[in-house]
A and B are shown apart, each in its own frame.
Chain A
Amino acid sequence: QQQVKQSPQSLIVQKGGIPIINCAYENTAFDYFPWYQQFPGKGPALLIAIRPDVSEKKEGRFTISFNKSAKQFSLHIMDSQPGDSATYFCAASIQTGNQFYFGTGTSLTVIP
C-alpha cells in the first residue's frame, strides 16, 4: 500500500512557469513532510520540509502548501528555471520512528 501518493508523474513547463506537484497521505500520525530533489546520477537531497503546525513554508522560489484537514501537501516552484529540471519526491515520516515513506516521484522538465 502506497503511504504517500504523488502526482503528476511528469511535468513540462516553460521557463518562468509555476509547476505544482501534489502529494496526499492517509496516516495522521505523520509529522514531518519533506521534499527531495534528485538530479540524474545523484542521490536525492532535501529541498524544503514542513511540519503540520503551519500551512505554508517558503524557501527562496520553493513553497510548500500544507492542508492538514485534506491530508494533502504540494510543492510550488516560482519562476522555474531550466536548472530546476530534476525529479522531485515528496515524503512523510513519523519523526519518533524515523520511518520515511516516499512518493513515486515527479520528473520535471523546464524548457528554456
Chain B
Amino acid sequence: DSGVTQTPKHLITATGQRVTLRCSPRSGDLSVYWYQQSLDQGLQFLIQYYNGEERAKGNILERFSAQQFPDLHSELNLSSLELGDSALYFCASGGGRLNTGELFFGEGSRLTVL
C-alpha cells in the first residue's frame, strides 16, 4: 500500500460529459502529480501541484484542469470528454518532510468514455 488513495477506481461515462477524479496524497507529502496512461502507453505527465500551488504543467489538455486543496488532496477535472480520453489516470505524491525523492503512486482511476 503506497498510502496514496484515488477515487473512483472505475468510471464509465459518455462523450461530452464531465468527471472529477480525486486523490489523497500520502500523509506528509506536499506534492501531487497527475499522470495519464493510455493502453500500452507510457506515463504522460499532466500536472504537478506543490502545497496548493501549481508547480509544473505537462501535456494537459485545455479541457482538463486540476487543483490542490488546503488539506493537500487534489482533484483532476476532465470535461467535454472524448473517446480518446479513455485511460488510466494516476495520482502520485512526494516531496514530504523527508523528501527522499521517491514518488508514491495510487492504484489509478480507470476512465472509460463510451
Contact status B107-A42, CB under 8 Å:
yes
Contact check, A34 vs B102: say whether CB atoms are below 8 A apart.
Answer: yes
Q: How many interface residues does B have (CB within 8 Å)?
A: 27
Would you call A102 and B107 a contact (CB within 8 A)?
A: no
Docked pose: A48 CA to B20 CA in angstroms: 33
Q: Which of B43, B50, B102 contacts A89 (CB 8 A)?
A: B43
Docked CA distance A89–B43 (Å) = 9
B107 in contact with A43 (CB, 8 Å): yes
Given A49-B102, A95-B101, A102 and B95 contact (CB-CB distance below 8 Å):
no
Number of A-B contacts (CB under 8 A): 61
Interface check A28, CB cutoff 8 A: no
Residues of A within 8 A of B104 (CB): 46
Q: Are A32 and B2 in contact (CB under 8 A)?
A: no
Q: Could you tell me if B43 and A98 are in contact, using CB atoms closer than 8 angstroms?
A: no
The distance in angstroms between the C-alpha atoms of A45 and B26, with both chains bound, is: 14
B68 partner residues in chain A, CB cutoff 8 A: none
Q: Are A32 and B42 neighbours in the complex by a CB distance under 8 Å? A: no
The answer on a CB contact under 8 Å between B42 and A43 is no
B106: nearest chain-A partner, CB-CB: A43
- Enumerate chain A residues within 8 angstroms of B40, measured Cβ to Cβ: 107
Beta-carbon nearest neighbor of B6 in chain A: A43
Partner of B2, one of A43, A95, A102: A43
Could you tell me if A105 and B43 are in contact, using CB atoms closer than 8 angstroms?
yes
Distance between Cα atoms of A95 and B102 in the complex (Å):
9
Apart from the given pairs A89-B42, A98-B99, A101-B45, 14 other A-B contacts in the complex at a CB distance below 8 Å: A34-B102, A34-B103, A43-B92, A46-B103, A46-B104, A49-B101, A97-B55, A98-B55, A99-B55, A102-B42, A104-B41, A104-B42, A105-B41, A107-B40
